[in-house]
Amino acid sequence: MTKPQLLQAMIERAITAGVPFGWVTADEAYGDNGPLRAFLEQQHVAYVLAVSRDHVIATAAGRFRADVPAAALPRKAWQRLSCGNGAKGHRRYDWALVATADPAISLLIRRSITKPCELAFYRCHAPAPVPLARLVQVAGTRWAVVM
């Protein structure tokens, strides 16, 4: 079994057992896995999954790699937010949210404050609209259990 398949099996067991959880978060190895994302979406499980810069998203304007809309965002699209505390205090980055053709899916983009060319990308799924600050908080808790 692959790591995404193992994660899916664990989530299936948690759902079957009635274990309450709020979000699934993971790195690119999981976020770039289409079958895992499809499973989570079919189960109406909210997620914030890191994806690679060449991850393709479908927007109203067409299909693009994740890094394409990031380069075209105006300055006002970015908000400086902390994604949580780190060893040296708050982990602050600039964040932007890009809508996709599916209202339940969005692309969250993180930009380094000190090195603006350093970007990270997250595919987000939520059955109901979620504010940017909440998605940022979830992205910052990738290795914790979030209720």
Q: Delimit the domains of the chain by residue range.
A: 3-139
Can you give the pLDDT at residue 122? 97
C-alpha distances (whole Å) from 104 to each of 45, 56, 91, 120 are 11, 16, 27, 20
Neighbouring C-beta atoms of residue 43, cutoff 10 Å: 12
Can you give the pLDDT at residue 83? 87
Mean pLDDT of 130-142: 92
Specify burial of residue 83 (Cβ count, 10 A radius: 0-12, 13-18, 19+): buried
Mean of all residue pLDDT scores within the chain: 92
Residue 39 sits at the vertex; the CA angle it makes with 28 and 100, to the nearest 5 degrees, is 65
Over 60: is that where the pLDDT of 66 sits?
yes
Can you give the pLDDT at residue 87? 72
Can you give the pLDDT at residue 49? 97
The model's confidence at residue 141, banded by pLDDT at 50, 70 and 90, is confident
Mean pLDDT of 55-71: 94
Contact 23, 146 (CB under 8 A): yes
